[in-house]
């Protein structure tokens, strides 16, 4: 099963390399705007809703590394990941 996925990924990459589609989208800035209320809640760190549960697949070695970093910082690893995501979101949106 994994071999089929890898083969499809390689085929897809070759397809887009031949067509030159990536050159059209890579490197161009994306303009994004947020509603004022959402922007303010991100900046202040206040949220009006409860946290949402999500599920993502991460390499087990990365999970171990994240847990080790979190232990060194004396915080739960989920909190560390949430902080990283929050900071990256602020950086990407320039807020």
Global pTM exceeds 0.75: no
Q: What is the per-residue pLDDT for 49?
A: 66
What is residue 57's predicted lDDT score, i.e. its pLDDT? 93
User: In terms of Cα–Cα distance, which of 27, 32, 81, 31 is closest to 53?
Assistant: 81
pLDDT, tens digit, for every residue of 52-78? 899 999 999 999 999 999 999 999 999
- What does each C-alpha distance from 8 to 13, 16, 17, 18, 21 come to in angstroms? 9, 12, 14, 15, 18
Domain ranges in the chain are 2-93
Lowest mean pLDDT among 5-14, 20-29, 35-44, 55-64: 20-29
């Amino acid at each position: 099963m994994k071999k089929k996925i890898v083969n499809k990924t390689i085929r897809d990459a070759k397809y887009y390399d031949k067509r030159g589609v990536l050159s059209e989208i890579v490197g161009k800035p994306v303009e994004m705007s947020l509603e004022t209320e959402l922007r303010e809640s991100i900046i202040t760190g206040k949220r009006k809703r409860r946290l949402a549960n999500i599920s993502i697949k991460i390499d087990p070695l990365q999970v171990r590394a994240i847990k080790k970093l979190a232990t060194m910082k004396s915080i739960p690893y989920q909190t560390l990941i949430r902080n990283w995501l929050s900071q990256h979101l602020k950086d990407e949106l320039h807020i």
